[in-house]
Every structure is written in C-alpha cells, then in structure tokens.
Chain A
C-alpha cells in the first residue's frame, strides 16, 4: 500500500468505528484524540480493525504510534508495504 492508501484505510476504519464523527477536515499531523472524541475503547478498535482487515498486529506498547494519521502512516508503512 502507498502512504496515501494507508491514510485512507485508517480514515475508513475510523468512519466505521465512529460514524457520528465528521472526518472531512481531519489534519494529518494533529493527534486524532485532539480532533475527535475517541476513547481507549475506540483505539482498541482501530487496532482490531487493522488486524481484521490487513492481518497487521499492533502490540499494546505500540499504540502511541497511532496517535495521528501521519504517525499511523510512518508506523504502518513497513507492515503494509506488501499488502
């Protein structure tokens, strides 16, 4: 996947987890938590959806790496490069 595709994939996952949030103005470099109402249950779901959809494992110690869309891309790019 390209970086753009990864970003889109994460946004798509968030839209499933939090359909009540407006995602059209998300800034890539700002923490998701500062732009959206996402709690720890929702973050667990981002991780679970990544596993379900792309077979990517994110250990709990790496959750902070998913803070913003940009950091998601940086963290996920090597894991998703062949998908």
Chain B
C-alpha cells in the first residue's frame, strides 16, 4: 500500500501550526497536523496539577486592540482565520510597569499614557523619544527581505540616556528576544508595537480558550490533527522532502511540509543534514517560572498591577546566566488583574526569570528537585521588593525550568524564543520545506498565528 499523501503536512500543533492548518484546510487543501505530545499549544500550552489549571507560556496576549481596530495584526488574524473577537474573548489589562531602581514607567493599553510616562521620567529625552516612536511607526517590520540591524545601535542613535534604553529593552527582550545582549531592530519594532503601541489582554480561561477555538476551527474546515504522533525524520531526495517518517514507524508523503518545530530542530530531522552543523545556531535564552495559587486575589492584598517587568541591578543584563537562575530581573504577572467583568475563581501569581539550560540539564533528579526548592525562596525574596507579601496565602506552587521547556517543546536548549537567526521568508535549503512559528520571526501568540498564516499564504495558497 502506498503511503498516505497530503497536500500539506504541518509539524507541531502550536499556534502557528494550527493557524496554518485552518488557512489551508479552509481552501480545500488536504492537511495533516502532527503533534508529538498529547496536549496542543507547544510553547503556549496548558495543564492541570493538584486540581488547579495552569497555563505554560501565557502571561498575557500582546497585540491587543479593541474589536474593529483597522489594520492591526489581531484584526488580520480574525479575518484570515474567519474568527470573531468573541471567539478569543480577550479581556484588556489594567496597568503594567517597568521597574528599575528608582525609576518606574507605567503603561496601559493607551499608548499616549506611556508616552507621557516617558516624558515625565525622562524630560531631556522627549524629542529623541518622539523621533524614535516616529521611526518605529514608519518601519515596516513585515518586510520579509529587510536586512538585520542591531536594535541597541539603532535605538542609541535616537536616545542618549542608557537607563531609558535599558527600560525599553527589558520588557521587549524578556517577552520575545532569542538573542543575548542585543535584539534585532525589526524584532524590537515588532515587540514595541505589540506591547506598547497595542497592548496586553487575556482570555478569562487563559490560553486553553485560544487553543480550543483553533482546534475547533481546524476540525470545522476539514483539517486533521494527530496527537502523540511525533516526526522521526524527513527523508530527503534531490533537494526535496520525499517522505515523512513518524516515531511509530509509519511513513507519509506530502507536496509541502510546514514545520513549526524550530529551525535547528527541523534541520536535525532532515536526512541530508549533519545535526552538529546546526547546534551553534540554537538559541540560549530560557526561563524558570514559578506559579503559585493563592487563597486570595492579589487585589485584596492591595496589588492591582497586571504585569511588572523588573530589574534590580544597575544595568539590565539579557543573557543566559552563569548560575541556574538570574533573579536580578524578571516578570511578575497576576492573571487576576485584567479587567474582567467578574473576578476569576482561581487566584494566581507567576514569576519568570532568566535561567541557564546547561546547568539545569546537568542536574541529577534529586539535585534537580533540590535546586527548584532552593531557588523558590530566593526568587520570592527578589519579587517581594515589588509586590505585597503573599507567601502566607500560597495554596499550591508549581515550577518549571528550561528542562521542562525542552521536554514539552523539543526546543534545543529549552530556548523559548528559538534561534537568534530568524528565517523571515521561511525558506530552507529544500524546495518543499518551510519554517513557520517562532523561528520564522513573528513573536508572541498573535505573531505565531500570523506566522502560520503568512507562510501558508506565501508558500502554498499563492502558488
């Protein structure tokens, strides 16, 4: 019997893979999504533990604009996936902060508010900042052929206060930068627009709502998703993927393969590639996250800020730390502090800090458990500089590390944002293999969906 043939096989049932599948199946392509795990979502998945519901990657959905806002990425996604704002049920944030020693910049979903904050805190930088904003607004970050520029260099050509520069880079790097120290300017623009110009929101039900909607839509338009079905190898012959070999020994064929597994990870699947050749391209930025369920909302403790990006050092360092964790900077997110019409039934606070994959990966199982227990109070100590003491209200705590991320996403080094070398056009050395998702270069949940849509349009539908 010949192997089953598809128009398109998509590797990974994350946001980008599911979005691509919706586009392709809607336009009558025979589509199969292959997902190694039993849960969909990839980097943005969800799980239950100890009777509590947790989100993996999601603090907030960036790129939030009110329904009906023209030309915004979120509006494009609703249109392209034939969805409505009601499907995602996004609830806007209250107010967030970037906090450095002695200086705080608050921001809401109203960009003018943030501009005023910058001007009040950095009056001497007013004109420079306004020129930078104009440059960002006019910059076409969707140009797939743009050449990479150093974000630090470009931003420093406008701003002269290193503190303001660090305070802008801190949240944008933590929320989407694969590179250490610097950030490609196009990526900086994508993140600046999605966090500051647009804004933050969250569905009441967390990321599961979005994933559930996407999966329902894939089904409705006739696409197939196979869970617990990993890809073992892509068999290459004369410059094309000839067949797809699954972990279970099955072989499938397809005209086009769209992979959201990551660039390095996808190359490692190709039978014509030496895996070690690509290792140096793997990203290094990974995180630990501590999520605590509380018996009270943080609001009741006097804290109503949605997200705090903090840095306690003199300068902001964005790099894989030497130690297991770098608690000097990070994110504090209260999922209860969005503008819901009624409070959530589950109160939570989560802390995210940079972490070193190699260090975590090298630990034996007992040492691993010990390290988690040891870092928890150290991170608490740091974040208590910014939030009221919640420790007596902890009901349950879970913690994930770079090791957990590697396990669930297959990303080399547990690199949350993939390789620093993005492939904007999605093209690889093979004629019928394309990359979508993280490593194509659009970021965040909305970016991931936009990536799946764009790559499906460009490499399949437009042909």
User: Would you call B70 and A37 a contact (CB within 8 A)?
Assistant: yes
Q: Is B71 an interface residue (CB 8 A)?
A: yes
User: Would you call B71 and A41 a contact (CB within 8 A)?
Assistant: no
Q: Is B68 an interface residue (CB 8 A)?
A: yes
Asked if A52 meets B28 with Cβ closer than 8 Å, knowing A16-B82, A41-B80, A45-B80, the reply is yes
> What B residues does A51 contact at CB under 8 A?
27
**A60 CB, nearest partner CB in chain B, Å:** 7
> What B residues does A77 contact at CB under 8 A?
none
User: Would you call A17 and B462 a contact (CB within 8 A)?
Assistant: no
**B99 CB, nearest partner CB in chain A, Å:** 37
Q: Which residue of B lies closest to A20 (CB)?
A: B68
> What A residues does B26 contact at CB under 8 A?
52
Contact of B457 (CB < 8 Å), options: A18, A19, A41, A52: A41
Asked if A41 meets B79 with Cβ closer than 8 Å, knowing A20-B68, A48-B461, A60-B462, the reply is yes
Say what secondary structure dominates the interface of chain A: helix
Q: Is B359 an interface residue (CB 8 A)?
A: no
User: Would you call B461 and A52 a contact (CB within 8 A)?
Assistant: no
Contact of B76 (CB < 8 Å), options: A19, A39, A48, A52: A39
User: Would you call B70 and A19 a contact (CB within 8 A)?
Assistant: no
User: Would you call B462 and A19 a contact (CB within 8 A)?
Assistant: no
Contact of A44 (CB < 8 Å), options: B67, B75, B78, B462: B462
Asked if A17 meets B79 with Cβ closer than 8 Å, knowing A37-B70, A37-B71, the reply is yes
Bitwise, B26-41 to A at CB < 8 A (1) or not (0) is 1110000000000000
**B426 CB, nearest partner CB in chain A, Å:** 16
User: Please, how many angstroms separate the alpha-carbon atoms of A75 and B71 in the complex?
Assistant: 28
**B67 CB, nearest partner CB in chain A, Å:** 8
> What B residues does A42 contact at CB under 8 A?
79
**B355 CB, nearest partner CB in chain A, Å:** 37
**B87 CB, nearest partner CB in chain A, Å:** 12
User: Please, how many angstroms separate the alpha-carbon atoms of A42 and B75 in the complex?
Assistant: 11
> What B residues does A19 contact at CB under 8 A?
79, 84
User: Please, how many angstroms separate the alpha-carbon atoms of A37 and B82 in the complex?
Assistant: 16
> What B residues does A60 contact at CB under 8 A?
462
**A18 CB, nearest partner CB in chain B, Å:** 6
> What B residues does A37 contact at CB under 8 A?
70-71
Bitwise, B199-227 to A at CB < 8 A (1) or not (0) is 00000000000000000000000000000
> What B residues does A17 contact at CB under 8 A?
79
User: Would you call A41 and B461 a contact (CB within 8 A)?
Assistant: no
Contact of A20 (CB < 8 Å), options: B27, B75, B457: B75
Q: Which residue of B lies closest to A18 (CB)?
A: B79
Q: Which residue of A lies closest to B454 (CB)?
A: A41
Bitwise, A22-65 to B at CB < 8 A (1) or not (0) is 00000000000000010101101100100110000000100000
Contact of B27 (CB < 8 Å), options: A16, A39, A41, A52: A52
User: Please, how many angstroms separate the alpha-carbon atoms of A37 and B79 in the complex?
Assistant: 12
Q: Which residue of B lies closest to A42 (CB)?
A: B79
> What A residues does B71 contact at CB under 8 A?
37, 39
Contact of A41 (CB < 8 Å), options: B28, B68, B76, B84: B76
**B376 CB, nearest partner CB in chain A, Å:** 45
Q: Which residue of A lies closest to B85 (CB)?
A: A20
- 29 inter-chain pairs at a CB distance below 8 angstroms, sorted by A residue, are A16-B82, A17-B79, A18-B79, A19-B79, A19-B84, A20-B67, A20-B68, A20-B75, A20-B78, A20-B79, A37-B70, A37-B71, A39-B76, A41-B76, A41-B80, A41-B453, A41-B457, A44-B457, A44-B461, A44-B462, A45-B79, A45-B80, A48-B27, A48-B461, A51-B27, A52-B26, A52-B27, A52-B28, A60-B462
